[in-house]
Structure 1
Amino acid sequence: MQPNPRHWATVRETVTVPGGDEWALTIHGASDTSPEDAQRDARERLQRVAAAGGTERRTDDGLEYYPLRRLPEELLEELHGPDDTLIAAITRNRYGSAVLNTDAVLISDIDLVEPSSTDRVTAGGRGMLSRLFGGRRAEELTEQQQDPDAFGLRSPGRRGEHHERTLALIEDFRTLHPELGVRTYRTRNGFRLLITGSGAAPSSERAKKLMGQVRSDELYMILCRVHDTYRARLTPKPWRVEVDRFEELGTRTATDDIHRAWVERYRTASAEVAVCRLLSSTGPAPDPVEQQIIDLHDRAVRPESGLRLA
């Protein structure tokens, strides 16, 4: 895989585009050489965007959440294979979580639907969670009872039905592709698959087809194509462990005191939660490089810890 940029710079400027309109632009530049070279890249990109008449945004269904170019991410760690080839990198994303980036193992995220209003509230005003646990209010439930994974197939309404359908879909996928290894994990709001043996590049049509067969999240598939790597969050979303939101890299360096203090708060708050729970592992054994990726992933997400998912 291609190395992640080691240096980032951000340029914010209001420019006049052809036609006379003014655009407030925030443009990121990257470089493997130096911060100064990243600043030059950002400035050149700003000039190209302005000359082209501004940026094209897709706002329907939230598709602008994932940009058509990488955003600044702090490089935390690189993993090399037996022949010293780069096979994975861990970066910190825009809201602060550590993320695995790799092209050696196909990673697919599948989201569950949110419960509908009728799933959440009964005619008498009590929620489904309350009815399941003897009329107690949600704040009176234990963490395990509030954990989405604690319900599994017993989740209320549409979410439980979607859970069951998705597991059946994954089973169909495994039957259709006996040549692939499939590790199935439960996440807080869905499932994650680590698929070995595919040889599919992240931006390839084969990857798109395989992820489509398990109805992988569309925005996630866009992100994989943009980064040309599969991605998997390794640590909790900060707001799920009651930590303030991370300010994206690009406005400061990772050595700044405010940055390091946030990382320490986040690390402490993340100690008693997990990101995934391993449900099953089927198919042929992974090759040595794929196993390296799986081992790195599992050390981070703590899939057999039994801890609350976040």
Structure 2
Amino acid sequence: MFADIDYFDTNYAKGGCLVSLVYGFLFVVTMVCLMKEQYIYAAIAFAGLFLFFIFNKVRLLFKKGGSLLHDTKKQENIKHTLDEIDHFLKDNPKWGARVYETPAEMRLLITHRLMNPNDEEVSLFFNKMNVDEVYSLMCKNQQCFRARVSPKPWRMDMSKHISPRSGTWPIKEEYMATRQKWLDEYEHKAKDYASCRFIQAMGNHDIDDKVYKVIELHYDLSKANSGLKIA
């Protein structure tokens, strides 16, 4: 059983997609006004474009300081959650867990036996650990425990989404080159990132044989022991 504990993810808040939309909107407004010879409105739109450019540059300058505050708060949350896990495992000595750091916060992998999303003890554990509600709902709806093993694009400074968007299939031939270009860039950048970082094993160290295979696969795919930056 995997369990994701997400407090916040300010990396997404950098707003790569929103910034692009604002730039595009202001540029289109400027061009339309010029085409209609509405030069005053064009000048206003262009001034807005310039001011937004300055604003975005200043925002990025402060981003480093904001990241430091985020990291400090995140470490406090991790310490608190480790204490909560420790208390739970002392009350449930048969349970074992492996703990990972993720960009949003933490991931737990329960190791003493296989579990089903519909098990009552799973719901109790999720509630006790304040597991992300959306994650919990998806586990029940899809009848599996999800664990992302690849870095997210925007955390690697890829502001553009894959095109066509994921979920579109089959891909039309005229879009394949653009899509492949995005995939090539993603694969190139992903080599330098892991999706999580192993912190420690806790509780019962007897691991179910089938769970052990999951641990090995998760390590290989997520690069949890690589020491790479997590994304």
Q: TM-score, normalised by structure 1?
A: 0.50
Aligned to 2:37: none
The equivalences for 1:100-119 within 5 A come to 106-113=1-8
Cα separation, 1, equivalents of 2:172 and 2:227: 32
Percent identity among equivalent residues? 26
Structure 2: gaps (5+ residues): 11-60
For residue 101 of structure 2, the aligned residue among 181, 186, 204 is 186
* 1:293 CA drift (Å): 0.8
Contact 1:275–1:309 (Cα < 8 Å) also in 2? yes
8 A Cα contact 1:179 1:284, kept in partner:
no
Number of aligned positions between the proteins: 175
More displaced, 251-260 or 221-230? Answer: 251-260
User: Please, which of 174, 179, 190 is the counterpart of residue 270 of structure 1?
Assistant: 190
Q: Which moved more, 1:257-266 or 1:170-179?
A: 257-266
Distance in 1 (alpha carbons) for counterparts of 2:215 and 2:167: 27
1:230 aligns with 2:145: yes
Trace 1:1-310 onto structure 2 (pairs within 5 A).
Answer: 106-113=1-8, 138=62, 146=67, 151=71, 155-156=72-73, 159-243=74-158, 244-246=160-162, 247-253=165-171, 256-282=176-202, 283-310=204-231
Q: CA 1:163–1:284 in 2, change beyond 3 Å: closer, same or farther? A: closer
Alpha-carbon deviations, 1:105-135, whole Å to 9, x = none? x0000012478xxxxxxxxxxxxxxxxxxxx
Q: Is the 8 A contact 1:242 1:269 kept in 2?
A: no
Change (3 A) 1:218 1:280: same
CA RMSD, 1 decimal: 2.8
| Secondary structure, aligned partner of 2:116 | coil
Q: Distance in 2 between matches of 1:233 and 1:147?
A: 25
SS of alignment partner, residue 198 of structure 2: strand
Report if aligned partners of 1:110, 1:192 keep a CA contact under 8 Å in 2.
Answer: yes
Structure 1 residues 147 and 306: CA distance shift in structure 2, 3 A: farther
Which structure's residues are more often strand, by fraction? 1
- The one-letter amino acid paired with 1:245 is H
- Give the gaps of 5 or more residues in structure 1: 1-105, 116-136
Greater length-normalized contact order (CA 8 Å, ≥ 6 residues apart): 2
- Code of the residue aligned with 2:118 in structure 1: it is S
Whether contact under 8 Å (1:180, 1:197) holds in the other structure is yes
CA offsets, 1:173-228, max 9 Å, x none?
A: 22122212200011112100000224321133222112222111111000101110
Work out whether residues 114 and 210 of structure 2, in 8 Å CA contact, stay in contact via their aligned partners in 1: no
**Structure having the higher Rg:** 2
Distance of aligned partners of 1:177 and 1:257 in 2 relative to their CA distance in 1, 3 Å threshold = farther
Tell me if the contact between 1:181 and 1:286 (Cα under 8 Å) persists in the aligned partners: yes
Answer whether contact 2:153 2:186 (CA < 8 A) is retained: yes
Could you say what secondary structure the match of 1:266 adopts? helix
Whole-Å separation in 2 of the counterparts to 1:213 and 1:228: 20
More helix by share: 2
